[in-house]
């Protein structure tokens, strides 16, 4: 009764994408998804602030792969088979239209993740994929004969609701430590998990009350070699925005090692050096001699941020440009280009967060996403040590892995 051709453990993004593609390619296959929760696709539902950032408008495989701090090298090949353009076409062919936002992120035109969830659920139904919720997988293995020869390929999968068997097993359990332990038992090595995609907690007078202010910047983490650039957003607890999120992803391991306590240096003028900033300030001094520097924001800075940096440099509103001393100008040029802030902890980025860590990528064939340690065992999504910066890339990893597994199993 509980025998299937293919069992997929984990009813998330990667699990459903694998199951549907498999069923579409080969309707004869008996497929089931085993999900521990009472609902499936829970992360898809809450993703992208409830809108589901499905993928990203980046259509060059090499450029796309650069968005993955872990997985860059390994995903390049798979992206030549299935990537963003294929994702857009896949959903469109199944009645889901996606739109591109200014920053390249792609969402369903409905602006609702329910569109993606409904699409998956109805396709699973249509193809008679058995979706078994409240089935927590507790153990996976095979009989001794199989372990020795791996010629017969029958897995057993023990769940909270009974034992299942299958010929081919797909693990798409995301970042569940218990499943990593289980996969370790089957011979894999696991890179320990640390959070990625988080924002920085900073208490500092210079950004107090400036929540909502955004500016393109470059940022360095002092003491370790991490640098990024892009928009920075001041929040009521510190700093967020793409520039910070990129740092949190690329520096996920380094920043965990120092317990999220470190100093950053922000260049609010992005590409200008301190010397260049000083020169520009001297020109402003000449041009606006009779005005207070507080009256108008300069150098493309949002006014509240400009005024706050003036105060930090010791320039009070009563002072006129003409009265600014050399040392005040120097101090202001430093505030503009080398502002230091103390980061004390991190906060969750509500729109998207992922875990860095998982199955060692050396143990996976990236043409098929099959394990090198166990024949007929396939792995996709966050269970692997792959994660991306924010923007729809994490789902793209799940879609690509799921698609390639379906191709491989049916070939």
Ligand X SMILES: Cc1cc2nc3c(=O)[nH]c(=O)nc-3n(C[C@H](O)[C@H](O)[C@H](O)COP(=O)(O)OP(=O)(O)OC[C@H]3O[C@@H](n4cnc5c(N)ncnc54)[C@H](O)[C@@H]3O)c2cc1C
- Calpha distance 153→164 (Å, rounded): 13
Q: Which of 20, 32, 124, 179 binds ligand X (CB under 6 A)?
A: 179
Q: How far is the CB of 68 from ligand X (least distance, A)?
A: 11
Q: Which of 22, 36, 284, 305 binds ligand X (CB under 6 A)?
A: 36
- Calpha distance 402→13 (Å, rounded): 9
Q: Which of 6, 35, 247, 268 binds ligand X (CB under 6 A)?
A: 35
Is 238 a binder of ligand X (CB under 6 A)? no
Q: What is the number of residues in the chain? A: 411
Q: Which of 70, 199, 392, 405 binds ligand X (CB under 6 A)?
A: 392
Place of tokens 């998804």: 33
* CB closer to ligand X out of 123 and 313: 123
* CB closer to ligand X out of 43 and 188: 43
Long-range CB pairs of 148-152 (<8 Å, 24+ gap) are 150/374, 150/375, 150/376
Q: How far is the CB of 355 from ligand X (least distance, A)?
A: 9
Q: Which of 354, 374, 389, 404 binds ligand X (CB under 6 A)?
A: 354
Q: Residue 405, CB half-sphere, CA atoms under 13 Å: how many?
A: 35
- By CB under 6 A, the residues from 118 to 157 that bind ligand X are 136-137
Counting residues that bind ligand X (by CB under 6 A) gives 38
Q: How far is the CB of 18 from ligand X (least distance, A)?
A: 9
Q: Which of 247, 310, 336, 398 binds ligand X (CB under 6 A)?
A: 398
Q: How far is the CB of 48 from ligand X (least distance, A)?
A: 3
CA distances from 210 to 11, 20, 66, 297, 329 (A): 41, 47, 32, 15, 23
Query: DSSP letters along 352-409, please?
Result: --EEEEEE-GGGEETTTTEESSSTTEEE-GGGBS-B--SSSHHHHHHHHHHHHHHHHH
- Calpha distance 95→108 (Å, rounded): 10
User: Per CB under 6 A, which region of 9-17, 213-221, 229-237, 290-298 contacts ligand X?
Assistant: 9-17
Interface residues with ligand X (CB under 6 A)? 9-15, 34-37, 42-43, 46-48, 52-53, 136-137, 172-174, 176, 178-179, 351-354, 381-383, 392-395, 398
């Amino acid at each position: 009764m509980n025998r299937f051709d293919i069992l997929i453990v984990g009813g998330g993004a990667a699990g459903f994408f694998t199951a549907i593609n498999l069923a579409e390619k080969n309707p004869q296959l008996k497929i089931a998804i085993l999900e521990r929760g009472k609902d499936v696709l829970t992360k898809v539902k809450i993703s992208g602030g409830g809108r589901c950032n499905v993928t990203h408008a980046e259509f060059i495989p090499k450029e796309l792969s650069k968005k993955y701090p872990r997985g860059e090298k390994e995903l390049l090949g798979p992206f030549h088979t299935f990537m963003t353009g294929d994702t857009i076409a896949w959903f469109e062919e199944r009645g889901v239209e996606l739109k591109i936002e200014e920053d390249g992120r792609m969402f369903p035109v409905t602006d609702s993740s329910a569109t993606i969830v409904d699409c998956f659920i109805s396709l699973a139904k249509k193809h008679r994929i058995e979706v078994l919720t409240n089935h927590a997988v507790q153990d996976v293995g095979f009989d001794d004969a199989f372990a020795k020869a791996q010629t017969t390929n029958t897995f057993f999968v023990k769940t909270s609701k009974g034992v299942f068997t299958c010929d081919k097993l797909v693990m798409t359990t995301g970042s569940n430590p218990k499943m990593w332990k289980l996969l370790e038992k089957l011979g894999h090595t696991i890179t320990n998990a640390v959070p990625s995609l988080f924002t920085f907690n900073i208490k500092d007078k210079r950004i107090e009350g400036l929540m909502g202010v955004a500016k393109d910047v470059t940022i360095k983490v002092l003491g370790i070699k991490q640098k990024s650039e892009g928009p920075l957003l001041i929040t009521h607890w510190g700093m967020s925005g793409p520039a910070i999120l990129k740092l949190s992803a690329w520096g996920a391991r380094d920043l965990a090692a120092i317990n999220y306590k470190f100093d950053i240096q922000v260049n609010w003028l992005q590409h200008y050096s301190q010397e260049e900033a000083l020169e520009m300030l001297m020109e402003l001094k000449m041009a606006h001699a009779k005005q207070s520097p507080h009256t108008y924001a300069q150098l493309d800075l949002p006014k509240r941020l400009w005024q706050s940096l003036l105060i930090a440099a010791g320039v009070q509103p009563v002072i006129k440009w003409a009265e600014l001393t050399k040392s005040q100008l120097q101090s202001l040029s430093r505030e503009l280009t080398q502002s230091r802030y103390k980061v004390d902890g991190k906060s969750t980025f509500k729109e998207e967060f992922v875990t860095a860590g998982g199955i060692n990528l050396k143990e996976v064939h990236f043409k098929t996403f099959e394990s090198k340690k166990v024949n007929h065992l396939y792995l996709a999504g966050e269970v692997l040590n792959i994660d991306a910066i924010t923007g729809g890339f994490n789902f793209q990893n799940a879609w690509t892995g799921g698609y390639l597994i379906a191709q491989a199993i049916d070939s």
